[in-house]
Amino acid sequence: MRPLDGITVVALEQAVAAPFATRQLAELGARVIKIERPHVGDFARHYDKTVHGMSSHFVWCNHSKESLTLNVKAPEAKGILDRLLSRADVFIQNFGPGAIDRLGFGTDVLKEVYPHLIICSISGYGENGPYREKKAYDLLVQCEAGLVSVTGSEEVPSKVGISVADIAAGMYAYSGILTALIARSKTGKGSVLEISMLEALGEWMGFPLYYTNYSGNEPKRNGASHATIYPYGPFRTGNEKTVFLAIQNEREWEMFCKLVIEQPERVDDPRFVTNSERLDNRDVLQGVIDEVFSRLTAEEVIERLERAKIANARLNTVQDFWDHPQLRARNRWRQVETPVGPVQTLLPPVTMQGMEPHLGPIPQLGEHNEKILMECGFDEGTIRKWREAGVV
């Protein structure tokens, strides 16, 4: 048994945020019926062709689901959706503001007709307010949330290299739906959940928000270095490699001086005695560290850091991470089937004893049309006519 065995999720979803949430529900055993546009599908199917002809985004977010194509604007769609939702436990959608209302499936209608249903909507900026209608792509939400202003070098603000606003919204949708399922087990009633990308990412901006508002100063962009702790970040070594290290307290600073840079007299140097002094004199301290590290290889630096029990890391590439020995040692890779053959996927990060997550195939567009529609009580002739008319 998986925790969500017997739970059915109907997902009117596209791109990343909602698909990321529903994939995780599927891994816990939920049946996820993904509704896509006929002939085109989720537009994330076409972002690129790097995974044996499939989009890397789609492969990442859509294994273990069933695909049903449906032209939601067709008159017949309302009856099909009604049959699906009457049997479902969760309905999740991340279409544009007002799109679901125009289809006749607004929140008030859904609550009345399907009181058991958990209804989850993901939007860019929320269901009301002056930004309600504003288009919201990940980069743009990163900008609006102030994330780009604190990321990058001193000269160049930068976006985070992954879809962090989508991921944040997807994670809160996922955890919110799990919470609503627990609540329903106690009350017998569904819930209405609303998640905006801006507010989800805003939660992750907690440190710079508090720091800025109560200090009156914006955090400085320091590339990969920490804005308020030093030394904490990248340092070059003598063999032209980069090692990252992090010192969080005075005990670690003492060990760093004695065992890493081998200058015990620096422990009580008034310029470096606390983090505040080290931060104020970071240029001087960087010169001290650089002079030592320039005589060492990255491997030698890491060996000293390990001996001193100082947190450290190599600067891996994405391919290095794919090949990471820790993932291999912990057996974190699995294989999922796709329309073009098997691909590798990482196990979900939460390991639950006694439960192997469901890692089912990535569906072809409309692969499960007839199966799902016949389960809903529609006959083959009706389904054939709908297919010919472009309804499904």
Residues in contact with 256: Cβ distance below 8 Å, sequence separation at least 6, in sequence order: 231, 247, 308, 310
Q: What is the mean pLDDT of the chain?
A: 95
Torsions phi, psi for 84 (to 5 deg): -65, -45
pLDDT in tens, 276-315: 999 999 999 999 999 999 999 999 999 999 999 999 999 9
- pLDDT, residue 227, reads 79
- pLDDT, residue 154, reads 87
- pLDDT, residue 220, reads 84
Q: Which of 102-116, 125-139, 191-205 has the highest mean pLDDT?
A: 191-205
Average pLDDT for 325-338: 96
In the predicted structure, residue 357 carries a pLDDT above the cut 90: yes
The two structure tokens encoding residue 68: 């049903």
- According to DSSP, the β-strands at 31-36 and 242-246 are unpaired
N- to C-terminal Cα distance for the chain? 33
pTM comes to: 0.91
In the predicted structure, residue 159 carries a pLDDT above the cut 90: yes
Average pLDDT for 250-266: 97
Average pLDDT for 192-196: 97
Average pLDDT for 130-153: 93
In the predicted structure, residue 244 carries a pLDDT above the cut 90: yes
In the predicted structure, residue 99 carries a pLDDT above the cut 90: no
- pLDDT, residue 279, reads 93
Q: 222-226, 235-239, 272-276: lowest mean pLDDT where?
A: 222-226
Q: Where are the domains of the chain?
A: 8-204+328-389, 232-315
pLDDT-derived band at 160 (thresholds 50, 70, 90) equals very high
In the predicted structure, residue 32 carries a pLDDT above the cut 90: yes
In the predicted structure, residue 105 carries a pLDDT above the cut 90: no
pLDDT-derived band at 116 (thresholds 50, 70, 90) equals very high
27/8 Cα distance (integer angstroms): 13
188/117 Cα distance (integer angstroms): 10
Average pLDDT for 183-190: 96
- pLDDT, residue 96, reads 80
- pLDDT, residue 97, reads 80
The two structure tokens encoding residue 209: 């928000």
Question: Alpha carbon of 143 to those of 44, 109, 133, 154, 353: distances in Å?
Answer: 22, 35, 17, 16, 40
378/369 Cα distance (integer angstroms): 11
Domain 232-315: homologous superfamily in CATH? formyl-coa transferase, domain 3 (3.30.1540.10)
CATH 3.40.50.10540 fits 8-204+328-389, yes or no: yes
Q: 211-220, 249-258, 306-315: lowest mean pLDDT where?
A: 211-220
